[in-house]
Amino acid sequence: MLTVMEAIEKRRSIRKFKPDPVPDELINQILEAARLAPSASNRQPWRFQIIKDPEEKERVFRETTFGARHVFEAPVVIVCGSELLTFVKGHKMAPPGSEYFGADSDDWESIKEFIPDAQLNTAIAVEHMVLAGTALGLGTCYAQRLRFGQIARILGWPRHITVFTLLLVGYADEDPAPRPRLPLEDIVLKEGNIPQ
C-alpha cells in the first residue's frame, strides 16, 4: 500500500478507463475513506450514489453530461452530493451540539445559504476517495461541467440533497505525466510579496 504522500504524488486525473469491472470490495474501501473524512461540527453532509449499470448510466447521464465520453467509459460513477438538512440547527440530521452554527430553519431560502459549507465538507470526503482509490491501484477523475440539477431530479434526490460532482472510478488505460503546478513561492503568501 502506498503512503499518503506517495498516493498524492502518483494520482492523476484519468480520462481513459479499461472496461474491467471494479470489485465491490474496493468501492467499499473508497467509500469508507469518505466516511472517515473530517467535517465542520462533524456534520458529515456527504452522500453518494454508485452507478455502474450501463443502462442506468445512459438514463442518468445521456442528457446531462454534454457528451463527456469518459463518464460512460468509467466502470463506476459515484454521484457525490450533500444533505443540506445536516446544516439546520437542531434538525435530527444535524449532529448533537452543532446548534451554534447553521440554518435557523429547513426552508430552502435558509438552507441554501449553507451550500458553500456543504460543498467544502463534501469535497474533502471526495478527495479522500480519490487518494484511497490511487492507493488501491484505481484511477479517478472528477466530472464537473454537468447538469447537476437534472441529474438529481433523474435520481429522485430531493432539493435538500444537492449534487456537487461526479467521481469516475476504474482501472486507468493511460499513464499521464504529471500536470504542471505552480511553484511554492507563488502559492505561499508572505509579508512583502503579497500581490496588490
Ligand X SMILES: Cc1cc2nc3c(=O)[nH]c(=O)nc-3n(C[C@H](O)[C@H](O)[C@H](O)COP(=O)(O)O)c2cc1C
The answer to whether 18 contacts ligand X (rule: CB under 6 A) is no
Segments of the chain assigned E as strands:
46-51, 76-83, 139-143, 161-170
The answer to whether 84 contacts ligand X (rule: CB under 6 A) is no
The answer to whether 78 contacts ligand X (rule: CB under 6 A) is no
Q: Whole-number minimum distance, CB 91 to ligand X, in Å?
A: 28
Pairing state between β 76-83 and 46-51: antiparallel
Measuring CA to CA, which residue among 67, 57, 66 is closest to residue 19?
57
Count of residues in contact with ligand X, rule CB under 6 A: 10
First CA to last CA distance, the chain: 44
Work out which of 40, 141, 152, 167 binds ligand X, going by CB under 6 A. 141
C-alpha cell at 62: 445521456
The answer to whether 130 contacts ligand X (rule: CB under 6 A) is no
What string marks each residue from 142 to 181 as x (binds ligand X by CB under 6 A) or -? xxxx------------------------------x--x--
Q: How far apart are CA 76 and CA 88, in angstroms?
A: 32
Residues that bind ligand X (CB under 6 A): 12-13, 15, 141-145, 176, 179
